[in-house]
Structure 1
């Protein structure tokens, strides 16, 4: 009898955690990207409209200055000239505060905006929020947004060591299709 009660409690807890961890729906390819208005590491506010006319690599990441997040950010930094040559701007978002972003950007010489989504509302709108009671963090998702503000590609399985290269390749393929 004790085992049945324990099993029932574990099943209930598992269900509760999975419900709390579930993010909103991912934006669909071809739809307009959800808007945002967030401060960066320098306190400057940025919104989706600001990037109209450019490709936007909008990447969500869990935590400043952690191994995977550092590897991903530094790869974007190192490939920024290639991305810019393809007409793309890189913007990172996490639920960390602007001051944490400022330290992270300074430490690794990150030349692109890192937006502070303290309320986690933007991560939720993009389906990139992991909410575990007291802890909220962004899932490692990236959205490639075209110059008209439409979602062109959604990356939910990101390998940090080659993610920027993958995006460059996708942008090159998209540019070739436009010709």
Structure 2
């Protein structure tokens, strides 16, 4: 019983480090995008990745955030930065949302809640689940270097671009 209690205590103590993820390898994923193509983190090795979670397609805050990333997409692309949006919505919902806003980046469907659960961004109440509005910035080595837990949808894309520029210089 003492061993079990010690193991349980050790696991509980380790939880805060896992919950933050900064400094750790980003978890592998295999999720379909709005076109049904399965995307993996491995396909973006060697590039910066913005993995932004949002609650629901076609809602005001999520639409604003997606538009900001869309409007600055050329700047992200010029720096070799991959932008990936993630929510629990279906592939079909993502397709409508991406088509309506003319989004040039992938929206990943985490309908089975696997990645959202791993990264501790799953929220909800009762039978309603959603992803909290959080972003993970992953460096070219696959390590999470920043977790944005508080996101201002009107400024977030600009903030991420500035952070990649700053961090990119520090990495070189």
User: TM-score if structure 2 supplies the norm length?
Assistant: 0.87
Give yes or no for the alignment of 1:80 onto 2:68. no
Total equivalences in the alignment: 155
- Verify: 1:176 aligned to 2:166, yes or no: no
Shift of 1:27: 4.3
Deviates more, 1:73-82 or 1:25-34: 25-34
1:30 aligns with 2:29: no
Counterpart in 1 of 2:43?
Answer: 50
* Residue of structure 2 equivalent to 1:121: 114
Q: Is 1:103 matched up with 2:96?
A: yes
* Equivalent of 2:135 in 131, 139, 142: 142
Q: 1:111-159 deviations in whole A, cap 9, x for unaligned?
A: 1110111111110111110142311100000000011110010000000
Q: Is the 8 A contact 1:75 1:161 kept in 2?
A: yes
Corresponding residue SS for 2:152: coil
Shift of 1:174: 1.2
SS at match of 2:76: helix
1:62 Cα offset (Å):
0.1
Identify unmatched segments of 5+ residues in structure 1.
Answer: 1-24
2:33 corresponding residue in structure 1 = 40
Partner of 1:63: 56
Structure 2: distance between partners of 1:50 and 1:131: 31
Q: Tell me which stretches of 4 or more aligned residues in structure 1 moved more than 3 Å.
A: none
Do the aligned partners of 2:21 and 2:119 also contact (CA within 8 Å) in 1? no
The question of whether the paired residues in 2 share the 8 Å contact of 1:27 and 1:33 is answered with: no
Larger Cα-atom Rg: 1
**Could you tell me how far 1:104 is from its partner in structure 2?**
0.2
Q: Return the alpha-carbon distance in structure 2 between the equivalents of residues 99 and 75 of structure 1.
A: 22
TM-score by length of 1: 0.84
Structure-2 separation of matches of 1:178 and 1:151 = 13
Provide the rounded CA distance (Å) in 2 between the counterparts of 1:98 and 1:116: 6
Residue 56 of structure 2 contacts residue 89 of structure 2 at CA under 8 Å; is this kept in 1? yes
SS for the counterpart of 1:147 is coil
